[in-house]
Chains A and B, each alone.
Chain A
């Protein structure tokens, strides 16, 4: 018995035997019969839909379950040979470091150095040693020389890396990270991944990462574990999983856009399963190889022109339908010479000029801190210009109160928990209507309508905080929709949602758009922007640097690169195929398949 244990602890960093866990006051167990071993030195990505139990599983690993959270845990968890039930969380933290999702609550210190030192100080490590450890762990998260910086003033990505440094300084063998990048822009995200890669190669750490998207990780991860409704649904190398599109959609995981193209060809029988591409190079190779065989006849460039004409015509059809609905174009937002300055030195917005017509679907993109939220808050009067002027739906924002503007301009914030305060979903929706001065019957009708529209009917009299985050996000949207705004601003509506949640949300937004609502969406998810928006506006340092259709914007690689925006995968693929496509940029996988002769095009 003893020898077996020693052997195990040598081989496995994490070992779960028959784990089941049930939160207090919840009947349905959250984790069911999980058996899992993780070898030392591996880089594992844990995926799965919202509420699959990913966070719960990571809490089991460092003993917060069962030591802090009550509830019923059965089975055996051992981490580096230690029994999690019998070892204090604090002691375990020297073996397994857990980085939680929100960096804000994980930073205790005033300065970076003070914060990083918090861990070792609790173990009474001598001061000199602490200094040295702090420096080396700051270096390994690429925060070298930040020692005296104020933690308050760090950017989102820096805060997240500081949170990692805070657990690294205790020199754990295993690092578990719960969605460390969900609020970061693509650059911030790739910095975190690069950091993790460094750690893994230099320090030989075992890493378990919870993530919703795999695009940048597919080459780095050794294995993917998929959780589904509290059970381990799949486990294996990432390439196996990400070629299997139906499996992904079953578990609510976002597929890679290029593999979506590959899957289409695979279904046609043109390529084998193993040939489904997972990155741009492979996709480029595949398309080049298939084009002579199945591409439309005649000279290729010409052919493509035709194929393209076809799809564009379809798009036009769609657009026409909408334009008929609102024949004369009305201006929804008119911004002229807008400057805005927070208390601090530099202006956050510098000379914005912008016209948005009624019925448009606009996406605002740009790095963290580019000024997207600052600009959007001007549209409903939450911020008033330092200089310049904004006219929204015929109203000068300077002359109206936000409460007045809120009747025609809806603003959905990123965090639904900042606004929910009622004891039931229906009451939450009524609040805005009461503020706007509606009466009993009208309120009831509108609430019913909004509940139906957002699919929240069955939660009507449920306490919002007994629902999951995805549903709460939907409540926040619904509570704005009841007001029937003409202009809807949505600030990062999909952060932290799983693929299915993103789809539902975007379908709802598209539905509103086609009903005539003007949409302004802020997002870091370029795939979504390309797929849904009709116009993309890029901001950098408080200025508009680019404005146009998604195709036009995402083909401007140099400008995007300068402002730290990574175009969606398919747009990058288009630019790799420039010699074939000419100056066209494709944003949907169906456009690529449209390049091929025997394709039955799908209607729009």
Chain B
């Protein structure tokens, strides 16, 4: 047996378990975040995507994408898929893309541009992505809700990331 090889392998296997544990907990956190209801001028907003955006910053683009997508599915499963499963799948896929983009902009340009991009993508672009299902009226009706929701979730994830980065936790 090659010593060096096995030690590396062991470490990799342990690390895979760790990544899995982190993603699992943050997916659960997305569902719990959805239960935190923030009153806003456009209706109550849940903090379901903050965990995903935070994971993207803290643990990487792929984990972030996985957490946000599964987190969305799980938190809508908890309320019985109000927009029906196919639409939720579509939304989940979009969110995964946004999480990756958020991470990417943060690395290239910094946190504030990333927040702006995150809010535009998750608020404005996501609204237009609903055009085929709801028509222009639906998009306009949805937009304020999504923009406020995106702003809350993205900003909270960014501030939290900044606050936690200084410790040795991540």
Q: Do A and B bind each other?
A: yes
Contact across chains for A465 and B169 when beta carbons are under 8 A apart: yes
Contact across chains for A67 and B14 when beta carbons are under 8 A apart: yes
Identity of the chain A residue whose Cβ is nearest the Cβ of B6 in the assembled complex: A86
Contact across chains for B163 and A68 when beta carbons are under 8 A apart: no
Identity of the chain B residue whose Cβ is nearest the Cβ of A26 in the assembled complex: B168
Contact across chains for A68 and B15 when beta carbons are under 8 A apart: yes
A465 partner residues in chain B, CB cutoff 8 A: 164, 167-169
- A25, A87, A423: the one contacting B163 at CB < 8 Å is A423
Contact across chains for B14 and A68 when beta carbons are under 8 A apart: yes
- B3, B6, B166: the one contacting A463 at CB < 8 Å is B166
Number of interface residues of B (CB under 8 A): 18
- B11, B17, B162: the one contacting A66 at CB < 8 Å is B11
Contact across chains for B11 and A67 when beta carbons are under 8 A apart: yes
The main secondary structure of chain A at its interface with chain B is loop
CA distance A89 to B1 in the complex (A): 18
A89 partner residues in chain B, CB cutoff 8 A: 10, 14
Q: What's the interface size class on A, roughly? A: 20 to 34
Contact across chains for A423 and B166 when beta carbons are under 8 A apart: yes
- A88, A423, A466: the one contacting B10 at CB < 8 Å is A88
B37 near A: Cβ within 8 Å?
no
A64 partner residues in chain B, CB cutoff 8 A: 14
CA distance A311 to B15 in the complex (A): 61
B3 partner residues in chain A, CB cutoff 8 A: 86
A423 partner residues in chain B, CB cutoff 8 A: 162-163, 166
Identity of the chain A residue whose Cβ is nearest the Cβ of B9 in the assembled complex: A88
Q: Write the nearest CB–CB distance from B29 to chain A, whole angstroms.
A: 14
Contact across chains for A86 and B168 when beta carbons are under 8 A apart: no
0 or 1 for each of A14-47: is its CB under 8 Å from B? (1 = yes): 0000000000011000000000000000000000
CA distance A86 to B7 in the complex (A): 6
A85 near B: Cβ within 8 Å?
yes
Q: Which of A67, A87, A466 has the most chain B CB atoms inside 10 A of its CB?
A: A67
B164 partner residues in chain A, CB cutoff 8 A: 465
A601 near B: Cβ within 8 Å?
no
- CB contact list, A455-503 vs B, under 8 A: 463-466
B13 partner residues in chain A, CB cutoff 8 A: 67, 88, 90
CA distance A464 to B163 in the complex (A): 11
0 or 1 for each of A54-80: is its CB under 8 Å from B? (1 = yes): 000000000110111000000000000
Q: Write the nearest CB–CB distance from B54 to chain A, whole angstroms.
A: 13
Q: Write the nearest CB–CB distance from B161 to chain A, whole angstroms.
A: 12
CA distance A288 to B1 in the complex (A): 68
Identity of the chain B residue whose Cβ is nearest the Cβ of A63 in the assembled complex: B10
CA distance A64 to B15 in the complex (A): 10
A25 partner residues in chain B, CB cutoff 8 A: 168
A87 partner residues in chain B, CB cutoff 8 A: 10
A355 near B: Cβ within 8 Å?
no
A155 near B: Cβ within 8 Å?
no
CA distance A463 to B166 in the complex (A): 7
A422 partner residues in chain B, CB cutoff 8 A: 163
CA distance A87 to B163 in the complex (A): 38
A466 partner residues in chain B, CB cutoff 8 A: 166-168
Contact across chains for B163 and A67 when beta carbons are under 8 A apart: no
Q: Write the nearest CB–CB distance from A286 to chain B, whole angstroms.
A: 49
0 or 1 for each of A539-578: is its CB under 8 Å from B? (1 = yes): 0000000000000000000000000000000000000000
Contact across chains for B167 and A463 when beta carbons are under 8 A apart: yes
CA distance A26 to B18 in the complex (A): 21
Identity of the chain A residue whose Cβ is nearest the Cβ of B1 in the assembled complex: A86
A63 partner residues in chain B, CB cutoff 8 A: 10
- CB contact list, B117-170 vs A, under 8 A: 162-164, 166-169
A86 partner residues in chain B, CB cutoff 8 A: 1, 3, 6-7, 10
Q: Which of B14, B18, B169 has the most chain A CB atoms inside 10 A of its CB?
A: B14
CA distance A421 to B13 in the complex (A): 32
CA distance A185 to B164 in the complex (A): 34
Given A86-B6, A465-B168, CB of A421 within 8 Å of CB of B14: no
CA distance A422 to B15 in the complex (A): 29
- CB contact list, A390-411 vs B, under 8 A: none
CA distance A307 to B146 in the complex (A): 77
Q: Write the nearest CB–CB distance from B121 to chain A, whole angstroms.
A: 27
CA distance A463 to B163 in the complex (A): 9
Q: Write the nearest CB–CB distance from B60 to chain A, whole angstroms.
A: 17
A-B contact pairs, 24 of them (CB 8 A): A25-B168, A63-B10, A66-B11, A67-B10, A67-B11, A67-B13, A68-B17, A85-B7, A85-B10, A86-B1, A86-B3, A86-B6, A86-B7, A86-B10, A88-B10, A88-B13, A89-B10, A423-B162, A423-B166, A463-B167, A465-B167, A465-B169, A466-B166, A466-B168
Nearest 4 CB-CB pairings of A with B? A465-B167, A68-B14, A67-B14, A463-B166
Additional A-B contact list (16), CB under 8 Å, known A68-B17, A86-B3, A422-B163: A25-B168, A67-B11, A85-B7, A85-B10, A86-B6, A86-B10, A88-B10, A88-B13, A88-B14, A89-B14, A90-B13, A421-B163, A423-B162, A423-B163, A463-B166, A466-B166
